[in-house]
Copies of this chain bind each other. A is one copy, B any other.
């Protein structure tokens, strides 16, 4: 369980090996609440209030935050690491519907049951808000609810973009769009670096893009041959951003 961590962000706040824990454990006490995404809608006092509602918690790679169809008893705000969100078909086929990064909310729809399963990709930290407490707090703060609703709208928009990708685009376009999108998201949360880190496995990428690991691998190789990017262990160095973006937008 405790092993040298392959962190998603080597330079910033490396995860200490052996800290893997579940919510409420003592080792989590120092996790900092970072309500990155909604803080704009809250003043200092409210931020402190909502912070007091949360428990910090950590997840080792591969551990589940929650599973599809489970009663949705908590909302999460990822503060560090990466989470994959996926659905399974009865025969085991998997579709990853998204990767959550620091600042992202999970379970925000406040529905009775989780619609997807969530699993830590890397060592991950998150704030956990018991759903009831969170819902009660939100119900008293319309401007916060309004902001959450805008968030949901934004997520829906991303899901629709992904539908275009899955329904109408070639393998190369999918890979390019994936890399460009990930780079933009990392940049937005201040994690841009020379090499784009790809902590998820080829299988994860394939299951996100509706491809197979072999096609993902071959496409990376092809893009490398075309001098668009350079595949490195756990990441990629984008050599020709313009070209990559051109492929990404179709």
B contact residues around A161 at 8 Å (CB): 87
- The verdict on A210 contacting chain B, using a C-beta distance below 8 Å, is yes
Number of copies: 2
A89 adjacent to chain B (CB < 8 Å) = yes
Q: Tell me which residues across on chain B come within 8 A of A87, comparing CB atoms.
A: 160-161, 163-164
Report how far A146 CA is from B110 CA in the complex, Å. 9
Q: Contacts A109-B156, A142-B142, A156-B156; is A95 near B150 (CB within 8 Å)?
A: no
Query: Min CB distance, A177 to chain B, in Å?
Result: 11
Q: How far is the CB of A145 from chain B (nearest CB, A)?
A: 6
Which residues from B are CB-within-8-Å of A108?
153
- Find A91's partner among B146, B163, B250 (CB 8 Å cutoff): B250
B157 touches A109 (CB 8 A): yes
Q: Which residues of B contact A28 (CB under 8 A)?
A: none
A90 touches B (CB below 8 Å): yes
Main secondary structure of the interface of A (DSSP, over half): helix
Q: Are A164 and B209 in contact (CB under 8 A)?
A: no
CB of A162 within 8 Å of the partner chain: yes
CB distance from A35 to the nearest CB of B (A): 18
Option from B154, B163, B249 in Cβ contact (under 8 Å) with A163: B163
How many residues on A have C-beta within 8 angstroms of the other chain's C-beta atoms? 42
Contact B249 A90 (CB under 8 A): yes
Is residue A94 contacting chain B, with contact meaning CB distance below 8 A?
yes
Which B residues are CB-close (under 8 A) to A109? Answer: 149-150, 152-154, 156-157
At the interface, yes or no: A182 with Cβ under 8 Å from chain B?
Answer: no
A49 within 8 A of B: no
| A11 interfacial contact with B, CB 8 Å | no
What separation, in Å, do the CA atoms of A116 and B156 have in the docked complex? 11
Binding site for B on A (CB under 8 A): 87, 89-91, 93-95, 97, 108-111, 115-116, 139, 142, 145-146, 148-150, 152-157, 159-164, 166-169, 207, 209-210, 249-250
Other contacts beyond A89-B169, A115-B160: 18, CB < 8 A: A87-B160, A87-B161, A90-B250, A95-B167, A108-B153, A109-B153, A111-B150, A116-B160, A145-B149, A149-B152, A156-B159, A159-B159, A159-B163, A162-B163, A166-B166, A166-B167, A167-B207, A167-B209
Q: Which 10 A-B pairs have the closest CB atoms?
A: A109-B153, A167-B210, A166-B166, A159-B159, A95-B164, A152-B152, A115-B157, A89-B250, A93-B168, A166-B167
